[in-house]
Amino acid sequence: MTVTHTVDGAGEGVHSGFRLALDRRFIVLVCTTAVPVTLQSLMSSSRTIVDALFVSHLGTDEIAAIGYSSRVIFIVIMAMLGTANGGAVIVAQFWGSGSVQKARQATALTVVIAGAIAVVICTVCFVWAREIMAVGTENPRLISLGTEYIRTVIPMIIPFAVISVLAASLRSLGQAKTAMNLALIGLFLHVALAYGLVFGNWGMPELRLAGAAWATVISTYAECLLFIVYLYGRRHPMAFRIRDLRDDIGNGILQKIWRVGLPVSLGSMSWAIGIFFYSIIVGRAGTQELAVLSMINPIEDTAVAFANGVATAAAVLIGNSIGGGADEERTWSMSKALLIWSTAVAAVCSLLLLLTSFWVGKIYGDIDGETIGVARDTAVVLAFVFIFRMTCMTLQNGLLRAGGDTVYILRADLACQWLIAIPLTFMAALVWDLPFPIVFVAINSEEIVKAVISGYRVYRRKWVQRLVETVTR
């Protein structure tokens, strides 16, 4: 049974988004996708947290270097995720329509596209790693540390591209738990390797900052191999072959992926580049500010994992619903129910973030007291702005993306970030010399604006686009 059919059954007789949000079968459906995706995202962000915790024992320069260089890696990761999620929109609608073969073909083509982009990006980052670091800081030690880290860790982007596409396809089929279990193995391997390679434990060489990079590379390749063994060992419907790629070109799937996936990939990459610019601005403001941003990022990523779980559940359920031919009223009721759940989860996450601010000093015990104080105040700000962040993710990455409204998302991301948030952050940090917690508000101003305008976009109900044909079963 597909996700679409189960949703249709759960939604029979339900015309209110609030009533649907409380429907037991609907809650089960949301949790079936959201919980595994959240746990998988938590495991991914846990790698960043583990690296930050281990590296924080090496000194302020080291954590500042890994924080800045990780933003470089974040750009390429978002490019891969954008490509994967763009392809997953097509996979979800094909799966909802009953076309298993075309869903597999879309997966195959997306893997090839993401892999090709990953190879190009890997080459560029390896060759120009020092120049990339020099953009954000004039500190020669930070440049040296960051260059070593980038050149060591960047090969991980190739297997990560494959993992991202395969995991997104599995989620589109309602099989998020499988991707979560494989990611869990990768996480355990990463933690063990990082502990050994950063400090020289368990007979491993003491590589310090480079050890964290090697742990990421080895664990990512191992996780990719696990995905491949699972799909082909189980003869999974998404285990594509060469003929699937050949058939892709002739049946119009490439055009569909290009139409939907390209704006998603460009939007994700441009947004990540904007995040990189924030790091440049903060790095120019001072090493302490960059260290604080590096300390807050793992905490923020943990909260975003919950937002990503709800947004992904929304994308899968709405995408399957549209692909399965559900009427607009039912899709709209489901959208409202998902927004209700998003708001509830955002409120809980904001409260937990507020409580986390009291524990920053214990998490980063080896960092000086002044930096800890700034980080604590920034965590409080994060707690208040996070509700806008999560609402925006559900609206854009969940509902609008599933409806194929990806060109709007690209425009909103570009406008809100590059015309509002980046100039405001520049003024706050480098012109007005405001305290970093206020600079952090400027960084998040784009999420506040996007939550408002995207909410209006969803409310107008003109974003639902059916991109595939129904297959009679």
- pLDDT tens column, 403-434: 777 788 888 888 998 999 999 999 998 889 88
Segment 96-145, tens digit of pLDDT: 777 888 888 888 888 988 898 899 989 999 999 898 888 767 788 888 88
Q: Is 380 exposed, middle or buried (0-12, 13-18, 19+ CB in 10 A)?
A: middle
The pTM of this model reads 0.70
Percentage of residues in the chain having pLDDT higher than 70: 86
* C-alpha distances in Å from residue 12, one per residue of 241, 257, 320, 339, 340: 39, 32, 16, 19, 19
pLDDT of residue 299: 77
pLDDT of residue 472: 41
257 assigned to some structural domain: yes
Q: Is 245 exposed, middle or buried (0-12, 13-18, 19+ CB in 10 A)?
A: middle
Kindly state the tokens that stand for 461.
């109900």
Q: What is the mean pLDDT of residues 170-179?
A: 81
User: Is the model more confident about 414 or about 329?
Assistant: 414
Task: Give the count of domains, the chain.
Answer: 1
In single-letter form, the type of residue at position 105 comes to Q
Helix (H) or strand (E) holding 56: helix 24-56
- What are the residues whose beta carbons fall under 8 Å from the beta carbon of 21, sequence distance 6 or more? 27, 336, 337, 338, 340, 341
Give the pLDDT band of residue 229 (cuts 50, 70, 90): very high
Contact between residue 397 and residue 371 where contact means Cβ atoms under 8 Å apart: no
4 assigned to some structural domain: no
- SS3 for 332-386 is HHHHHHHHHHHHHHHHHHHHHHHHHHHHHHHHCCCCCHHHHHHHHHHHHHHHHHH
Residue 287 has pLDDT above 50, yes or no: yes
469 assigned to some structural domain: no
| Mean pLDDT of all residues belonging to the chain | 80
5 assigned to some structural domain: no
CA geometry: angle 39, 269, 430, nearest 5 deg: 100
471 assigned to some structural domain: no
Q: What is the mean pLDDT of residues 455-460?
A: 85
9 assigned to some structural domain: no
Structural domain of 133: 16-460
Contact between residue 83 and residue 110 where contact means Cβ atoms under 8 Å apart: yes
188 assigned to some structural domain: yes
Give the pLDDT band of residue 278 (cuts 50, 70, 90): confident
| Helix residue ranges, H only, 128-252 | 129-136, 140-153, 157-172, 176-199, 209-233, 242-250
SS3 171: helix
Helix (H) or strand (E) holding 281: helix 253-285
Helix (H) or strand (E) holding 73: helix 60-97
Distance of alpha carbon 247 from alpha carbon 224, whole angstroms: 25
465 assigned to some structural domain: no
